[in-house]
A = this chain, B = another copy of it.
Amino acid sequence: MNMVPSTQGKEASTTRECYLKLRQLILAGDLPPGKKLKIEELRALLKTGASPVREALSLLTSDMLVERIDQRGFRAAPVSKANFQEILTLRCSLEDMALRASIANGDTAWEERVVLSHHRMSRTERNNTELFEEVHKMFHMALLSNADMPMLLRYCDQLYDLNIRYRYLAADGPRYGERSVAAEHEEIFDATLRRDADAASELLISHYRRTGEYFISQMEG
């Protein structure tokens, strides 16, 4: 009888919705690092049952955004200088691998994805944090998307999100040096389209390191 599709298009499961919402809350710092995540609270917040919440938290555990202690519940993953450092190191190594593989497999469809995502990013205002972070991630993942290594891409995606979380947390503090981020993106973009893997990778990694070292200097200064 229900001829008008209630939510038109994709009917996600309750669990997935919980997962996405909780993920966003943690990434944006609304559920701060180390905070105890009580089922009952979240159940009330998301207006749903306990099962989907539990399962969503389970999934977030594998993204390393939530810690679980057997019989003692869940809590938002803590942050630390060492953890940030490790994320940075792993990203440099894994994205280097992925970008090289992506370029090596380079085809037209991929090139178009890169161009499109780059264009969208350039057209998005940086003030609109939420939206900018989204297109920014799209651009970076598009660069890697042709690597033909699904597990590697999954790791890169995870690490990207873990890193973004630190960015959100730091955003409360002093505005981070506007630097020449846009110019750096431009250089990476150009080198990639030139299929110059060495240059592209070098630029990408130093892009990360520069941002990373700035944060590290702030974290316990």
- The interface residues of chain A, by DSSP majority, are classed as helix
The CA of A62 and the CA of B157, in the complex, are separated in Å by 14
Q: Give chain B residues whose Cβ lies under 8 Å from the Cβ of A51.
A: 51
- The segment out of A82-90, A121-129, A210-218 that lies at the interface is A82-90
Asked if A13 is at the interface of the complex by the 8 Å CB criterion, the answer is yes
Asked if residues B86 and A93 are in contact (CB atoms below 8 Å), the reply is no
Contact of A151 among B16, B54, B90, B97 (CB under 8 A): B90
Interface residues of A in 1-56 (CB under 8 A from B): 12-13, 16, 51, 54-55
Chain B nearest Cβ from A7, distance in angstroms: 14
Chain B nearest Cβ from A199, distance in angstroms: 21
Contact of A152 among B13, B62, B90, B97 (CB under 8 A): B90
Q: Give chain B residues whose Cβ lies under 8 Å from the Cβ of A63.
A: 62
Binding site for B on A (CB under 8 A): 12-13, 16, 51, 54-55, 58-59, 61-64, 70-71, 82-83, 86-87, 89-90, 93, 97, 148-152, 155
Instruction: Provide a sorted-by-A list of 28 A–B residue pairs whose CB atoms are within 8 angstroms.
Output: A12-B70, A13-B70, A13-B71, A16-B70, A51-B51, A55-B55, A58-B58, A58-B59, A59-B61, A59-B62, A61-B62, A62-B62, A62-B63, A64-B151, A82-B148, A83-B151, A86-B149, A86-B150, A86-B151, A86-B152, A87-B151, A89-B149, A90-B149, A90-B151, A90-B152, A93-B93, A93-B97, A155-B155
